[in-house]
Structure 1
Amino acid sequence: MVYNEANTSVDSYLLVDEKGVIIKQLDTTIYYICFTQDTYGYFAVFGMKNFKGWAAIDANEKILFNVYNASNGEPNPDILVEGKIRIVNSNNLIGFANSNGQVIIKPQFESVSTFYKGKAIIGKSCKEVPWDNHESENGCHHYSIVCRKHGYINTKGVVIKLGNFTFEKIMKEIGWKSPEEQYWN
């Protein structure tokens, strides 16, 4: 677990065990923001100086994997859903790690949703389509991912179906819901 300890002069991040005992204080010249929820036990998600994207680190500060950015055009690292978090490799392919920080589905998908009831929607032959006239003042560019083919996988990463289907058709077929829909419904 990670706690952000604010004091009057500087913020710090503390790695603590399940009993709340401090394991170590992290160097804020390396770690500039933490996105971890208290429920992560084996890794924490950080923004790190001189590191592209979001890093999942263990208690020894070893980088386990890069965490997928869940929102196009703004900083938003993925979260655990059904005990899995999306990860990304240097080729921008997406896979999954479990809550223990172990890669369980190697990065291989151009586009993939979170899991819902053991299924995740995948996309193939995808491209980024910029939003018309949308650039924020800080230079963030927003875009949508558009794929020619969609399908879905199981929790082992096995492709169950893939073809000339829309995301919406696959979503309806498997009854998939986003984490936001799951939370609000």
Structure 2
Amino acid sequence: MKRIILTLFLLSISVCFSQEKYKYKIGREWNGNREVYSIINQRGDTIRKLDSIKYFNTLHNKFNHFVIFQIKGKPGWSAIDINENYLFQVYNRLSGEPFPDYVKENRIRIIGKNNRIGFADALGNIVIKPQFEKVTEFDNGFAIFQSECVKIQNNVAQGEHPGVRYKCEKIGYIDKSGKIIELGEFNFKELRERINWNGN
């Protein structure tokens, strides 16, 4: 009996520590045919109402340092802090579908000039400046990038999925500081197995 109680106690502690704590959540309510957003703190106080014409889509419910919205007049997804300061454009994970990147291993992909990709941390600081044509999320401390890429339009008439694909000459991987560890004419599958990368 004591062993069962101890097991349940340890399990409850592990569940408590495994659940991430959030400082803020996004409030949602309908005003006519428009969804209105607000930022609410842990006590349930509304600390900021957001302009329903400016902010028109988010997939976030809770956050700590920044929240991701689609904002009128800005391309793609935008990260803002609780004071509505614009931080950076967030990478969209799926071509043709609204699905912003998320923080993994304290890194989130961002978009800079010429659609180059870099990384910010969970606090909203840009830690790797946008410089990559194609780059994966971080997994096991590394991200795989490709360079010298050519965009190819898929041929829907021949049964290919609508959209584009990339043909890249070189592939390599970086560490979490952005340092290039290796770059060459590798096979993606072989490289991911070599560095034990299991991301998406």
User: TM (normalized to structure 1)?
Assistant: 0.86
Q: After superposition, what is the alpha-carbon deviation per residue over 1:57-95, rounded to whole angstroms, capped at 9, x for unaligned?
A: 011111100101111232221111112110011211111
Q: After superposition, what is the alpha-carbon deviation per residue over 1:107-126, rounded to whole angstroms, capped at 9, x for unaligned?
A: 11111100001100011111
Q: Name the structure 2 match of 1:80.
A: 103
2:37 alignment partner AA: Y
- Report the 3-state secondary structure (helix = DSSP H, G, I; strand = E; otherwise coil) of the residue aligned with 1:66: strand
Task: Check conservation: 1:96, 1:103, Cα contact below 8 A.
Answer: yes
Q: Distance in 2 between matches of 1:34 and 1:46?
A: 5
- Report the 3-state secondary structure (helix = DSSP H, G, I; strand = E; otherwise coil) of the residue aligned with 2:113: coil
**Is residue 155 of structure 2 the alignment partner of residue 142 of structure 1?**
no
Once the two structures are aligned, what percentage of the paired residues are identical?
36
2:97 alignment partner AA: E
Alignment partner for residue 106 of structure 1, among 129, 135, 144? 129
Alignment partner for residue 129 of structure 1, among 136, 144, 152? 152
**Is residue 135 of structure 2 the alignment partner of residue 89 of structure 1?**
no
Q: RCO higher in 1 or 2 (8 Å CA, sep ≥ 6)?
A: 1
More strand by share: 1
Distance 1:18 1:157, change over 3 A: farther
- How far off its partner does 1:158 sit? 0.3
Q: After superposition, what is the alpha-carbon deviation per residue over 1:141-166, rounded to whole angstroms, capped at 9, x for unaligned?
A: 51223211111000000000110112
More helix by share: 2
Q: Name the structure 2 match of 1:169.
A: 190
User: Structure 1 stretch 165-174 or stretch 98-107: which is displaced more?
Assistant: 165-174
Please give the residue correspondences for 1:1-185 in structure 2 after superposition, counting only pairs within 5 Å.
1-7=24-30, 9=32, 10-38=34-62, 40-133=63-156, 142-179=163-200
Q: Distance in 1 between matches of 2:150 and 2:117?
A: 14
Q: Distance in 1 between matches of 2:28 and 2:99?
A: 22
Task: Check conservation: 2:27, 2:40, Cα contact below 8 A.
Answer: no
1:70 alignment partner AA: R
- How far off its partner does 1:17 sit? 2.8
Unaligned stretches of 5+ in structure 1? Answer: 135-140, 180-185
Task: Check conservation: 2:27, 2:39, Cα contact below 8 A.
Answer: no
- Equivalences, count: 173
Q: Distance in 2 between matches of 1:95 and 1:85?
A: 8
